[in-house]
Structure formats: C-alpha cells, structure tokens
C-alpha cells in the first residue's frame, strides 16, 4: 500500500517537469523549422552575390530608427530551409542598386516599413514606463495602508470572538461544583431571558471570578458560553491600555457597541486588574490613560439596560487591588471565589487530564490526589504531562509511579541537579538535616505525613522533605501551627546535635517559621498579647500604596511582638531538639539509609521504621536499589570509574 502511494507521489512530482521538457523541445524544434540555417553576409559579400546574379528573393526592412536596412533572402542554390541575412547602410544608392538588380535579374523584392514606426507603438514606448511607475506607486501605497490598517484602527475594540468548534462545557470543568452552581442561572438567563423579565428579576450584569492562578477561571467562563450557546467575546485587561490618551476608552465603547449588536452574548475580561485598579493610588495619585479607560468601563456597565442580554465575566488573581466602584451592585454584582481544589476535586481534575494517557497499575488517581495538596488544576495538568514526557524519554510504554514521583519533584522544586558534585561531608550534613525533618514528622501527632525524603539537590535546595497534611482542614489550630514550626526547625536541630555546628541550609526553614510565628502574634491572636490583630496581609501593588501606612500600636507593643515571636520560635526549637535527642537511633537510621539510597518514599520509610532495615532489593527496579548494589552491578558490567559515580550516573550507565 505504501509503495503504491510512493509511486503515485513520484509520478505526480515528475509530470510537471516532463511537460516543461516537452514544451521546451517543441519550441526548439519550431524555432529550427522556422529559421533553418541562416548565413550572415557582410556588405561586400552581399554585393558580390548581387552582381553575380545568385539571389533568388530578398526582403528589406528598415531598422534602428531608420539608420540601416535589414536584408533577408535566399540564393538560387539554397535549400528550402536555408537563408541569408545582411545589414546594409541606409542610403538611396544602395536601395537603387538593389532595385536595378531586381529589374534586371527578375528576382522577388519586398520592402517592409519599420515596425517600430507605428504610432501606437511609439505612444506605448513613450508612456508605458510612466504608466508602470504610477501603477507601482499606487500598489505600494495601497499595500502600506493595508499593513498599517491596525494603526489606523487603534480605537477599535480588541475583543475577539471565540469561533472554536470544540466548545467547552461543564463536562470539561472538573472540581468546581459550587462555582458551577453559582453561574448556572446566567446560562438560564442567556437561554430564556423572558422567564426572568416576567417576574421583574434583574440578572447580575457582571460576575467576578477571583482566586489563585491556574484554578480554572477562564475555563469556567468558556463553559458558561458553551452551555448557553451564545457568542463569546474574550479580551485581556491589558488590551485596553495604550500610550495614547483616550484609546482605551474608545475601545471600551466599541466593545459594548459590538456586544449590543450580537446580544445575547457574553464578554470575558481576563486579568481585569490591569485596567481596574484603584484610582488615585500610589504617590501623587494621578489621572492617567488607565483611569480614563476604567471610567468608561464603569459608565458602560452602569449604562446599558438590565435585560439587554449582555453579561460580563471578569477574572483576576488580585481582587484586593480593584476599584471599589467596580464591585458595587449594578456592576460586578456577583463575586465567585475559585479556590484551589480539595482532594476530591483534584481526583476529578486528574481523571480529565488522564483520559489520553496510559497509566501503569501502580498509578492510582486517588493516591495521586492525596499526594498533591495545594496543586491547582494547571499544576495537575502539568504534572501528568511531565510524567508522560519522562516516560517517553525513558522509552516506556506506560507512565509508572516512578515518572509521577519525578514529575512531582520537577513541578515543586525543578529538575534534579545530577551533575552537582557533593563532598562527603556535605552529603552527611544534608542527610542528617533531612532526617531531622523526617523524625519530627514521624513523632509529632499533628504533624504532616512524610511522603518523601531525598538528598538529591533540586533548585536552590540541597535536599528536601515532602510532607502532606494527614487531612485537609479549613482552619489550623494553634497546636497545628506550633508543630509545623517545630517540624521546620527539625533540620537545624539535627545539625546542632550531630555535628555541633550550624549551616546556611536552614535559611528557607527559618523564613517559613518566622512568617508563621509573626502571623500567630499579629494576625491570629495566638500569643500572650491576647486576641488582637496588629497587622493585616497586604501587598505593595502600587508604588507608595502603603508608604505612609499608620502603625496602630506603640513601640512598646512592637517590642512585645518581637519578644512573643522569639518565644514561640525558641520553644519550638527546644521541642525539636528534645524529640531528636530522644530518637537518635531513628535519626541515624534514616540518615544512613539516605546516604545509601539518596531517596526514600513513604512506603520505604514506614518499612524502615518498623523493621529497622530496607525491604529486600529487586534488581528489576534499578531506581529502588542502593548505591552499593548499583556499584556491584556496574562492576559486573565492566563500567569504568564506577566507584566515583553518583547514583544518577550509575543508573544512566546501567540503563545503557
């Protein structure tokens, strides 16, 4: 089948060239047939032939603007295809001599006028260049105008109509059950507005979707339009903002004009905080182009009627920076929080993205959903995609748990730095540091479960400890936060106890612990200062937004806040050291095993804690083997310099 297709393709490719070759040969043959053998004579040769009465016919044409004659003809002894050609000077004497010879010898004489002497041809020759120049200039300027059409239409709306044939519906949106319920009545209104008008109900003019990045805000907006089967216009907030004053406002007006023409319809404005930020914010305030655009947007939303069939859905990650006028009733009447998915939502999202992927039996979606708290829908999609890419790279026919684990690490921390060379002292430091975190996680009741411990460097970390909550909670207790801080300080505590020295490896742990301790004192009222809130979470979105922010407590209270934070941290540090001192054997066991295996999973840690040793090694799974066993296999295979290789290098050599 493939051979026949290839032959047909070759024939189709050769056919045009064959036709061209035939045409060229035909033209050449015609040229030879019409011209035959042409002999070029000089003036003297021609005159001698004329005097010798050897000419049988001759045709004379004036050329070169009348300065010469072109004479063509035949001699009496020529064959049918033979002829001669000669250039003669333009003079009455030459012409008289030829005419006299024709009368005397009775050969055929034909005189033709110069073809270039035609009046139409002269006009064409004189005016054709000018005409071509004018046509070219017209074409060039017309093309330039077409190319700059967008610059002339900079006041037009940039909203684009989504004509995708594969419309998104609620079936494609997983894990957002409550959010879909909130927007369902918008679909009913777009499908049957008279039902609402009959009872005098006013449907929300605008719906604001806000939440962390990647949670599915844009997907939810597309699903609303897909379910209602109405035109879906989408635009980014940054598309309104331009250098020229008034352009953004003009685009807003044009967008609503177009929407009214196609009502009922849905307008989706993504990242609305680009144009909808608070007016007059920052040092000096100001009334720039962005604020004019916002004013026009407010006017348009407040201006069109309640039942015109236009609904605006906007999305943002920062609702706290939006102008209050946008959020009042009559504009964005309804605000829907699109949160990170819970464990059930993550399982549903994973099921959607796993439809076209081949998963091994050891990969179960409920288990994977449990291992990924805090992941957004975009993170989960990226996780499965990274796992699929790794499986292809490793020449596997299905995605196993090994690829999923590696993909999870990549999403959280970045790719492993397998070429990074540790000194033996650094490896021991990192191993005991991570083992300290693991011991605290294993011994504290409210602490998170230890899912994975590794001393393979990723990103800026020399190793890391993956811990997930036992169960997902809406609120954290004081005990939960205290134990979380204690777990973060487990690495530093292990360094102090084992090596009698401290390193810079715990700087990220301190950052997280300090942030939690300060929030406990200043926001959550979890200290001896009582149930008071001294600070609020806020981000400096604008230059100078909080530049002159008043401090609602005295310097004495500020000092007490610092003392309370120090008290919490010190108590947690002492508690971490006590736990590690009581469980030194477990610390050493986990650390020494990490030095041997580099990575331990939850199942391996649980087996290690119960049996004080690792499970029997299975040579068919190289990644689960210890470095010692891998070196033995490398020696048997004849790998050079195997004794100096890391585990990643050994795995690479053995795979080859």
The pair of structure tokens assigned to 70 is 């072109």
Cβ(521)–Cβ(257) below 8 Å: no
Nearest alpha carbon to residue 512 among 444, 451, 461, 558: 461
* Residues shown for the chain: 656
Cβ(230)–Cβ(265) below 8 Å: yes
Please give the full DSSP string across 65-107, using - where no structure is assigned: TTTEEEEEEEETT--TTEEEEEEEE--HHHHHHHHHHHHHH--
The count of other CB atoms within 10 Å of the CB of residue 448 is: 19
- CA separation for the pair 72, 50 (Å, rounded): 13
- CA separation for the pair 342, 474 (Å, rounded): 10
Cβ(247)–Cβ(155) below 8 Å: yes
119 is annotated as an active-site residue:
no
The pair of structure tokens assigned to 51 is 């005097």
Instruction: Name residue, tokens 């790719």.
Output: 415
Phi, psi for residue 255 in degrees, rounded to 5: -65, -45
Catalytic residue (one of 347, 403, 434, 483): 434
- CA separation for the pair 611, 181 (Å, rounded): 50
CA atoms within 13 A on the CB side of 41: 21
Phi, psi for residue 29 in degrees, rounded to 5: -65, -45
DSSP for residue 40: E
What lies within 8 Å, CB to CB, of 116 at 6+ separation is 63, 65, 122
- CA separation for the pair 13, 8 (Å, rounded): 9
- CA separation for the pair 131, 135 (Å, rounded): 6
Helices (H) and strands (E) counted in the chain, each on its own, are 24, 14
Hey, which residues are catalytic here?
A: 434
């Amino acid at each position: 089948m493939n051979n026949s297709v290839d032959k047909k393709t070759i024939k189709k490719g050769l056919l045009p060239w064959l036709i061209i070759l035939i045409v060229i040969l035909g033209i050449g043959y015609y040229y030879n047939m019409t011209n035959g053998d042409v002999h070029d004579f000089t003036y003297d040769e021609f005159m001698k032939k004329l005097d010798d009465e050897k000419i049988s016919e001759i045709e004379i044409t004036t050329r070169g603007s009348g300065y010469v004659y072109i004479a063509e003809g035949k001699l009496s002894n020529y064959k049918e295809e033979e002829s001669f050609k000669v250039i003669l000077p333009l003079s009455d004497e030459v012409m008289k001599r030829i005419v006299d010879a024709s009368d005397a010898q009775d050969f055929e004489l034909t005189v033709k006028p110069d073809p270039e002497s035609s009046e139409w041809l002269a006009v064409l020759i004189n005016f054709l260049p000018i005409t071509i120049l004018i046509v070219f200039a017209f074409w060039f300027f017309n093309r330039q105008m077409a190319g700059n059409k967008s610059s002339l239409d900079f006041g037009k709306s940039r909203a684009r109509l989504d004509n995708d044939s594969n419309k998104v519906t609620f079936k494609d949106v997983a894990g957002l059950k409550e959010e879909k319920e909130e927007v369902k009545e918008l679909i009913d209104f777009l499908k049957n507005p008279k039902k609402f008008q009959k009872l005098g109900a006013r449907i929300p003019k605008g719906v604001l979707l806000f939440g962390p990045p990647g949670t599915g805000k844009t997907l939810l907006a597309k699903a609303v339009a897909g379910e209602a089967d109405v035109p879906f216009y989408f635009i980014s907030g940054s598309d309104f903002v331009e250098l020229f004053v008034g352009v953004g406002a003009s685009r807003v007006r044009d967008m609503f004009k177009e929407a009214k023409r196609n009502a009922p319809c849905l307008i989706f404005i993504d990242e609305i905080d680009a144009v909808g930020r608070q007016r007059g914010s920052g040092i000096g305030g100001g009334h720039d182009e962005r604020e004019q655009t916002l004013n026009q947007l407010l006017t348009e939303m407040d201006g069109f009627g309640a039942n015109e069939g236009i609904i605006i859905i906007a999305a943002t990650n920062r609702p706290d920076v939006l102008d209050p006028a946008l959020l009042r009733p009559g504009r964005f009447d309804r605000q829907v929080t699109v949160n990170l998915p819970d464990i059930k939502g993550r399982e549903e999202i994973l099921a959607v993205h796993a439809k076209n992927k081949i998963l091994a039996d050891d990969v179960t979606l409920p288990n994977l959903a449990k291992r990924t708290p805090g992941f957004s829908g975009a993170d989960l999609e990226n996780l499965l995609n990274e796992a699929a890419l790794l499986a292809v790279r490793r020449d596997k026919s299905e995605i196993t748990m090994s690829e999923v684990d590696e993909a999870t690490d990549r999403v959280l921390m970045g790719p492993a730095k397998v070429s990074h060379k540790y000194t033996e002292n650094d490896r021991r430091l990192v191993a005991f540091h991570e083992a300290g975190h693991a011991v605290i996680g294993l011994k504290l009741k409210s602490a998170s479960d230890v899912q994975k411990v590794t001393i393979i460097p990723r990103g800026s970390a020399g190793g890391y400890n993956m811990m997930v909550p036992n169960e997902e909670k809406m609120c954290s207790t004081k005990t939960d936060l205290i134990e979380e801080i204690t777990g973060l300080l487990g690495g530093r505590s292990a360094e102090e106890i084992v090596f009698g020295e401290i390193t810079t490896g715990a700087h990220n742990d301190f950052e997280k612990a300090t942030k939690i301790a300060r929030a406990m004192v200043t926001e959550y009222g979890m200290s001896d200062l009582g149930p008071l809130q001294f600070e609020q979470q806020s981000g400096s979105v604008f230059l100078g937004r909080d530049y002159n922010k008043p401090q609602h407590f005295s310097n004495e209270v500020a000092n007490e806040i610092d003392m309370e934070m120090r008290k919490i941290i010190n108590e947690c540090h002492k508690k971490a050291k006590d736990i590690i001192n009581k469980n030194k054997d477990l610390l050493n066991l986990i650390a020494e095993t990490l030095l041997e295996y580099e990575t331990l999973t939850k199942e391996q840690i649980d087996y290690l804690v119960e049996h004080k040793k690792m499970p029997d090694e299975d040579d068919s799974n190289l990644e689960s083997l210890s470095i010692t066993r891998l070196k033995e296999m490398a020696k048997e295979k004849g790998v050079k310099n195997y004794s100096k290789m890391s585990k990643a290098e050994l795995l690479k050599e053995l795979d080859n």
